[in-house]
Amino acid sequence: MLQEVFMKSYDAIIIGFGKGGKTLAGYMAKQGKRVAMIEKSNQMYGGTCINEGCIPSKSLIIQADKQSYGQAVERKEALIEKLRKKNFDKLDSLELVDVITAKASFVSDHEVHVQGAGVDETLYGDYIFLNTGSVSNIPNIKGIHEARHIYTSAEMMKERSLPAKLAIIGGGYIGLEFSSMYARYGSTVTVFEHGSRLVKREDQDVADEIQKVLEKQGVGFVFESSVKEFANEGEQVVITYDDAHGIQQKLTVDAVLLAAGRSANTKQLHLENTGVKLDQRGNVIVNEYLQTSVPHIYAMGDVKGGLQFTYISLDDYRIVKDHLFGNKQRTTKNRGHIAYSVFISPTFSRVGLSEQEAREQGYAVKTVSMPAAAIPRANVISQPDGLLKAVIDTKTDQILGCVLFCAESEEVINFVQLAMNQRLTYQEVGNHIFTHPTMSEALNDLFS
């Protein structure tokens, strides 16, 4: 006699407790849908931003001029534990949401196997949402897996002792943010960059200004370098590298931070058991509504590639929500210009095209720029370093792009983003009445 096997069935299975996934879980439960929220680690409720990304790093950055490093790490840990619990409780308290702490892997397009402490079963989902984020890239360098004191950014922020000498592999945005932070705590920081300059997607004058400010903070740079090997000498790390002339050099440090970018976190999902397709870089391929090649499976956040920001994951939720419950008008193609900020000191913020990108796309442009030292507020708060730059379309007077490398730019850039999305001319922004003395009023001068 055959025994009938009953499988738990859900309206939605969400894999990954990040911003888009957790927000969608709460909304769907309020619509009367039964939801399984699967998260592989009890240390990741709330997602990467809260536990390993934006919140812990910004907490440490903000405290860099106020606390010792050890005290800052303790306060950071207390903060993320509080936020992690708050995120868990918010979903776990919902009657229609089951929070399952286990590893998830696909059995088929509708079936997901979950395995963890006290959990080993297969679930069925009418809809499935991938929100598994990204993981740090580990370069293929000799000794990288054997040598001690080599960290990803998430691991580095959990260390309670400040390295006297720190090497950072990679001069991208993550590397620069951490270089500024650790230099301000008192570490001697050396950044190894394979290219001949910093942040290639930025204009040369902007990259030069970032380098100048960071060097003023005590950060050293080794350009056109190729790191060959890591090895321990006692409790230190010896880095063997080729310099710009191909000559082998060595540097001894107390810790190494790997900042070689991030990749989609899909390896353990067994997507080969589904029809979900990946691109050459391993990102989940989606359409403008964030559907994968299997229409009832969606992907949100870093796992699909593109800009890796929490607020993108949140807007991905809005797109999915509208596609499932709304009028299907929101897409990735109509969310407008997206700004981003890199929290070096001062903060680097940008929206739209660089001068180089605008010219390459055929625009006739003019550029305007000014030093941050010309802003009254910057001098009042004793943060005069930096540069402001805007790119203008000479035919339409529209703002094509803007860089704000100055204190509080993470707030001011949102005004510029809104102005661009509303298609205001640069004159309209330049004539706007701002309060005084604020960093925002710098836009009066920049767009004058």
What's residue 281's pLDDT? 92
How far is Cα 103 from Cα 41, in angstroms, rounded to an integer?
8
| CATH code at 8-135+263-325 | 3.50.50.60
How far is Cα 156 from Cα 175, in angstroms, rounded to an integer?
12
Question: What band does 307 get if pLDDT is binned at 50, 70 and 90?
Answer: confident
What's residue 420's pLDDT? 98
What's residue 6's pLDDT? 67
Are residues 443 and 430 in contact, defined by beta-carbon separation less than 8 angstroms?
Answer: yes
Quick check: 92 pLDDT over 80?
Answer: yes
What's residue 423's pLDDT? 97
| CATH code at 339-447 | 3.30.390.30
Has 436 been annotated as catalytic?
A: yes
Tell me which of 149, 296, 323, 436 is the catalytic residue.
436
As given in the structure block, the two tokens for residue 400 are 């094509």
The whole-chain average pLDDT of the chain stands at 96
How far is Cα 194 from Cα 312, in angstroms, rounded to an integer?
29
Are residues 446 and 412 in contact, defined by beta-carbon separation less than 8 angstroms?
Answer: no
According to DSSP H, which parts of 331-408 are helical?
355-360, 376-380
On whether 271 is known to bind a ligand per the annotation, the reply is: no
The stretch 227-250 carries a mean pLDDT of 98
- In CATH, the architecture of 150-260 is 3-Layer(bba) Sandwich (3.50)
On whether 134 is known to bind a ligand per the annotation, the reply is: yes
What's residue 2's pLDDT? 42
How far is Cα 206 from Cα 198, in angstroms, rounded to an integer?
10
How far is Cα 314 from Cα 293, in angstroms, rounded to an integer?
22
Quick check: 434 pLDDT over 70?
Answer: yes
Residues of the chain with CATH 3.50.50.60: 8-135+263-325, 150-260
What's residue 5's pLDDT? 53
The stretch 102-124 carries a mean pLDDT of 96
Residues of the chain with CATH 3.30.390.30: 339-447
The stretch 103-131 carries a mean pLDDT of 97
For the chain, give the percent of residues with pLDDT over 70. 99
What's residue 378's pLDDT? 97
Question: What band does 66 get if pLDDT is binned at 50, 70 and 90?
Answer: confident
One-letter amino acid identity for 316?
D
Nearest Cα to Cα of residue 36 among 22, 47, 55, 19: 22
The stretch 334-345 carries a mean pLDDT of 96
What's residue 117's pLDDT? 87
**Residue showing tokens 């010309």:** 374
Residues paired with residue 253 on neighbouring β-strands, in sequence order = 237
What does DSSP assign to residue 383? -
Return all residues near 67 (Cβ < 8 A) that are at least 6 apart: 75
Q: Is 55 exposed, middle or buried (0-12, 13-18, 19+ CB in 10 A)?
A: buried
What's residue 403's pLDDT? 98
Q: How far, CA to CA in Å, does 232 sit from each of 138, 222, 229, 262?
A: 18, 21, 10, 26
Q: Does residue 1 or residue 320 have the better pLDDT?
A: 320
On whether 275 is known to bind a ligand per the annotation, the reply is: no
On whether 58 is known to bind a ligand per the annotation, the reply is: yes
How far is Cα 322 from Cα 42, in angstroms, rounded to an integer?
30
